[in-house]
Every structure is written in structure tokens, then in C-alpha cells.
Structure 1
Amino acid sequence: MNDITPTPWPKDRIIPAANWQRPEGVRLISSDDHVIEEPHLWEERLKGADKDRAPKYWKDETGFHMTVDGESYDVPGLPSDFPEGREGFWDVSKRLADMDAEGVDASIVYHGRAAGLIRMADRDFFVRCMDVFNEWLAEWKQAAPNRLYPVAYLPTFFNPEATADYLQKLKQLGFKAIEIPLNPRGIRYNSLAMDPMWRAIEDSGLPLSIHIGAYIQYSGRGSLGANLNANLMPFTGMFGQFVFSGIFDRFPGLKLIFTEGGAGWVPATLENADKIARDYATELRPRIAHAPSWYWHNNCYATFMQDDVAIENIDRIGADRIMWSVDYPHPESIVGNSETVVKGIFDKVGEAKARKIVGDNAAAVWGI
């Protein structure tokens, strides 16, 4: 007997009228939302020889589509209008109306399709394509600059020495936040060769997000669910890489946000990492200055949509270390259910901690 009740597709969800009065002065900030890029973005904005080889990106009656050098960059196994069908994804007026309906005061906004361009073989061309995306995103936020806070994509992980100059450009464009991909092919974040990038980010003061990505690890029967299950909870290893390679020791001012992977993974990860640090202390290289859990409580954050495990373990995670989000307008988002989730957080952890989780932490991290 199938006991699964399907959640409506994002385009079909109805946001109910508010029936809960949040405490006075509470500011709801969604720490992880998304915008889909305007069609033909790269074809129209790239210049010279780049225009001829620009990624082809368009919208038709079936949804959004992208090809690069004739290869489809659509997500296999999903109809485009399932994850990308809600009109507020591309219509900013409808996005703001949805935010109003759910009581969201401000939104930290990440990429739509642009991150998929990391598959491109020509790295220099990839950087120029991400330049186009970042410049467009800086324009897009002007529709509501006190409510929409987009996250720039930092493409210099292929060339760490170029990071400082690129960050100056992003600051001039008005960005308060940056992201890098989770597992770029051929890049080892734990390599000392990456230190110029970490140093430049630390010096910039910009918080750094690592966002989950769509990685195809499995094929065949059940592969869509298996891949999504892995993609939506990927951060245990990445946390260990930052800690055990000594990145936080060398750059203690880094603020790292693990984005869209929930926070329920944190308690078990910290317990396990601390045990590894004790049990293998004589062999670990480099030697780290603190227990791994110390770095979590001093350098790291995680975003979540609805995560009962995290809320039940809030004292182990830290109420100042996690940030609520809608994940607008993805299938796993809580569009249409935000009020219920937020009220549940207040009921379960109390007002003081809940205020931090649903808005105060994000306001402090991103300076908004």
C-alpha cells in the first residue's frame, strides 16, 4: 500500500491566507531562494567570437532549456515545468507577491541554470559566461534592492590568484554574498594552491556559500530518487575537508554557509569528526588547533527548509548556526507551507532561538 501523499508541483501550490500572528519585530529572511535567468542571456550579452559559441538558452511551452556546443544541459528525468514552473521564478512582481503572501521580508537569492555551465570544458569561456550572469544578477536585484539579495557566482576556483580582483568587481556591483560549487571537477579545495582564494575571500569580508548541486552518480532504476537523495544531503565530507585540511586555521575569518542541504546532518557529523580527531590524533596531517566541532561553532552555518531533526537537536547545532529558508520555488521548497513551518519553529525552540533561526542570523551574516 502506497502511503506517500504527493506534494503539488510548485506551479500548482496555493499560498493560504495567514492565520498566525508572528511576534512583534520578527523579520523573516529566507536564506536560500532561486531566480531563473532571462532567456537568451548569453546569446545576447556575450561579445565578439564568444557570441557565436554562446550557450543557447530559451523558454518554450514545455519550460526552460539549455544547450552548450549542441549538448543538452537540461536535468534528465524531470519535465522542466516541474522544478521551474512557478511564474515568480522569472517574473519579479509575482515573486514579490508570493513573498508578501508568505510573510517573507527579504530573500537571499541563488542561481537558476547558470551553475550548470561548470560542465563547460573551456574554463576561460566559463568565467566570461559567469561574468554575464553576475552582471545580469546585479541589474535584476534593482527591482527590490531592500528585499532581494542575490548571491554572486565566484568562478575563480580555476585560478585562485585572480580572486581578489574579481571580488572587487563583485563588491562594486553591490553584492553582499558569493558562492562556489560543491565539487568542481579537477579542483581540490584542500590544496594549498587554493589559499590565495581563501585569503581573498577572508579579506573581502563576504560570506561564502557552498550550494548543493545536481550530480548524476547513479543510473538505471530509481536513479532520479537516488541522485536527489545524495544531492540534497552532501555536506558531511565537505565540512571534514575544510576542517582537517586546516583551512579554518589558516583563514579564521572565513564564514562558510552550507546551503540547501539541511542541518540534520550536523550533530552526527560533529560527533564523528571530534572522535576522528581524538582517535587518529597522532597521524592526522596537518595538526588542527581545535576540535572539529569548534570550527562549526565559529566559522560555519547551514540553511534548511523544514528539518525536524535539526530543530530537535538545536542545542547541539547552535541556534546561531542555522538559517531558515523557503528555497523558492523548487519542488523541495516549502512554498505554500512557510507559515506552518515557521510557527512550528517558534513552538518547538522558543521565541529567543526562533528569532535567530528565521531571520536574525541571516541579517547578521549578510549585513542586511
Structure 2
Amino acid sequence: MTQAMSAPSEQAGDEKIWAHSGDSHLMEPEDLWTSRLPKALADRAPRSERGEKYEIVYIDGTQIDRQLNDFMDAMRPPGFKDLTIRLRDLDQEGVRNQLAFPSMGFWVCNIRDPELENAVARAWNDWAMEDIMGKQDRIFAPAIIPLMDVGNAVAEAERAAEMGFKALYFPCGIPDDRAWGLDIWEPLWTAAERMGLPLTFHIGTGSANVVYRGPGGAVVNYMETTYPGMRVVSHMVAGGALDRHPDLKVLIAEGGAAWVPAIGDRMDEAYRQHGMFVRPRLSRLPSEIIRQQVFASFQHDISAVQVIEDTHYDNVLWGDDYPHLEGTYGHTQQTLHTIFDGVDDRIRDRVLRGAFEELFGA
């Protein structure tokens, strides 16, 4: 494997802050699935077409219209599709390693045909390993897991572990009859725990992101993307999945982090005050499970770091969200100094390095 040169280590007095990113993204080539799948499957795989005003995403016979944003395209970093340039972008911005989620791959969870979903997920994972992780050692992706058939999910998770993936990817939004706290997922959680692969959930996935079109809609809908991440935590904790699998780790990416200890308190209150209704019973309080097994990443939230000292919840990762508009490219150092200047060294090291390395061993 051709390895890229690692980022230089910090020296005493360096002004640049170096950090791992717990939330970045890959931009897939347009022919990813057409070049790797038989035509009958490739024609139904996710693809997008752009018109003058809208982008249309086609997925297995359905289409989703999305308004184009030329401004967003204009703000893409230089290396958003070129791996060599991207590594230079990382050095410029002070980013050591990136956990890089899919882009078009997010749409895999919209496929309802298990055969197609399995083929599309496998092709994405093969591409990510061959063309991204096989060519350098600083950017790595979580493996996309097909969800329509739990047997397929377990098989692909095991294949991903054998290939060298460090994490598994899941959407936050999922139909109620397949909610993340249900027992149908037990074989998958058992396999992931055995293989030591954390479950990484990215906000804004698996459910509608535009739910309100009234005043303040841009901010309201941005907020709406975060709530399903909170539901992942509440379902997996209250439903007992994390309690039954104490070595299983969960990351909610890009949704901020200050909310995590707060919902732990809220869940403890429900567990105590409504105890006569609580099923299943847990071996630990919800807040204890959260503190031991749930991680979260943010990019700009000052509060995500501020709450650590008082709540002692430090399973917090910073993320650059490269190459998305909400990310920090072009002002990463300004952002990091704004958030971390004056912060206790222990907390700063935990957020910028320690929590990431605990999860992924980077």
C-alpha cells in the first residue's frame, strides 16, 4: 500500500493547532456504480442529474428533487475530488486524520431491494478501500452496511473487518418497525462488538431534512437534522442494546455534543420516575451507558467543549466536515483557536486527539 507522509508533529511554540477530524466526507466518482456493477443493477443505483435549477437524485426507480446551490459548489476545497490535493489541504488546515463518510453513498439506505442494496454497498466499500484507504493512511471511511436483510448486514460487516475497515456506517433515520433499539439488530451488534468496530451514525441521513417551509425554515430544518441522532442514542440506550453490548461504541457525527449529557439526565429521570413502566430493566443508569459508550462530534460549537469541565462528559470529537459548506475549510485554524485557546490542555487533547484515537486507533 502506498502511504502518504504523516502530518508533522507539533513542536513547542507552534502556532498551528493539529487535530483529527471525526466528521469528513468522500466525494464519489460519478461512475462508481456503473463501472462496478452489472448494468441491470447499475441502472438502479444512486445517481444524480443536474438541470438549470434542480438536481435530481434517482434511486431504484424513485427520484428526489433537490434545489441546486451554485454557491455551495463554488466553496468546495481544491482537493474535494483529488486525493493528492486533499492531503495538501489537510496539511494546510492542520488536520492529521479524517473519518470520511459517504456523500452519494448516503442514499444507499433509500434502496428497498435487498439484492440491489447489498451490491451497491459492497461496491462502495470496495471503492473506498481500493481508491482511498489503499493509497494513503490519513483518510479512512466507515463501511456502508446494507440494512434490508440483517444477514446481509452481518456478512458485509464481517467482510469489512477482514478488508481493514475501522468502523461501520449507519443512517440516523429509520422506519419505526426497524428502529435501532429493536432486537432484530442483535446479530449485527453482536458481530460489531466482537470485531471491535464502532457504529458511526451521521445526522441528516435516512429521513427527510426539509420538514418546515415557514419563517426561519433554513435554521429550523438545520436543527431538524440533529434530532434523529438523539433518537439513535435514546433507542439504543433505553432499548437495552448498548447495555447488552458494553464494549460497543457509538458515534453521532456532526450533530454537536453538548446535548449528550443533557439527554442522559433526561433519560435517568424517566428511568427513575416512571420505573414501573420501564422495560427492559438496565444494569446501569442510561447516563452511565451514554458516558461509557456514546461519542459525538461537532465542528463549530463552543458549548461542546465548555460543558466537558462541568459534566465530565468527554467522549467528544472535533470535525472539519470537509468538503461541505458547513465545514471549516479555509478557516480551520481560526475556528480551532476560537474554540480551544485557553482551554485546559487535558480537555483540548481529549477532543482533538484522544477520543478519536480511542474509537479508531489512529
TM (norm. structure 2) is: 0.86
Output the amino acid matched with 1:295: I
On the 8 A contact 1:180/1:208 being kept in 2, the answer is: yes
Q: Unaligned stretches of 5+ in structure 1?
A: 1-19
Determine if contact 1:246/1:288 at 8 Å carries over to the other structure.
yes
Distance in 1 (alpha carbons) for counterparts of 2:196 and 2:85: 33
Q: 1:29 to 1:314 in 2, by over 3 A?
A: same
Within 5 A, what are the aligned runs for 1:351-366? 351-366=345-360
2: CA distance, partners of 1:80 / 1:172: 40
Partner of 2:242: 248
Tell me whether 58-67 or 353-362 shows the greater mean CA deviation: 58-67
Aligned partners of 2:52 and 2:138: how far apart in 1? 30
1:225, distance to aligned residue in structure 2 (A): 3.7
Give the paired residue count. 346
For residue 268 of structure 1, report the CA deviation from its aligned partner. 2.0
- Give the alignment partner of residue 88 of structure 1, picking from 72, 79, 95: 79
Contact 1:39 1:59 in 2 (8 A): no
Per-residue CA deviation, residues 247-274 of structure 1 (Å, 9 max, x unaligned), is: 1221111111111101021232122112
Which of 288, 293, 312 aligns to 1:294? It is 288
Q: CA deviation at 1:73?
A: 3.9
Shift of 1:51: 3.5
Deviation at 1:193, TM superposition (A): 1.8
Structure 2 residue aligned with 1:325: 319
More deviation in 195-204 or 111-120? 111-120
The equivalent position to 2:118 in structure 1, one of 113, 121, 127, is 127
CA separation of 1:135/1:60 partners in 2, compared to 1, >3 Å: closer, same or farther? farther
Residue 95 (structure 1) shift: 1.4
Is 1:79 aligned to 2:69, yes or no? yes
Q: Sequence identity, in percent?
A: 27
Q: Partner of 1:314 in structure 2?
A: 308
2:211 alignment partner in structure 1: 218
1:160 to 146, 150, 153: 150
1:175 to 140, 165, 179: 165
In structure 1, how many angstroms separate the alpha carbons of the residues matched to 2:70 and 2:195?
37
Shift of 1:132: 1.0
Find the residue that maps to 1:227 and give its secondary structure.
helix
Q: CA deviation at 1:233?
A: 4.7
Structure 2 regions of 5+ residues with no counterpart? 1-11
1:50 has 2:44 as partner = no
| 1:80-104 per-position Cα deviation (integer Å, ceiling 9, x unaligned) | 6616843422111221121111111
List per-residue Cα deviations over 1:192-225 (Å, max 9, x = no partner): 1211111111111011111112523524335444
Residue 7 of structure 1: aligned partner: none
Contact 2:317–2:355 (CA<8 Å) still a contact in 1? Answer: yes
Aligned pairs (5 A) from 1:59-74: 66-69=57-60, 71-73=62-64
> One-letter code of the match for 2:87?
L
Query: What is the correspondence of 1:181-192 to structure 2 with a 5 Å cutoff?
Result: 181-185=171-175, 186-192=177-183
Show the counterpart of 1:12: none
Deviations 1:316-365 (A, max 9, x none): 45364101111112121122222123234433431122011101221221
Deviations 1:242-298 (A, max 9, x none): 111111221111111111101021232122112111111122111112111101111
What amino acid sits opposite 1:259 in the alignment? A
Task: For 2:112 and 2:152, locate their aligned partners in 1 and report how far apart those are by CA, in whole Å.
Answer: 19
- Structure 1 residues 137-195: Cα deviation after superposition (integer angstroms, max 9, x where no partner): 1112246532111111111x322234433222112322111111111235221211211
Deviates more, 1:299-308 or 1:333-342: 333-342
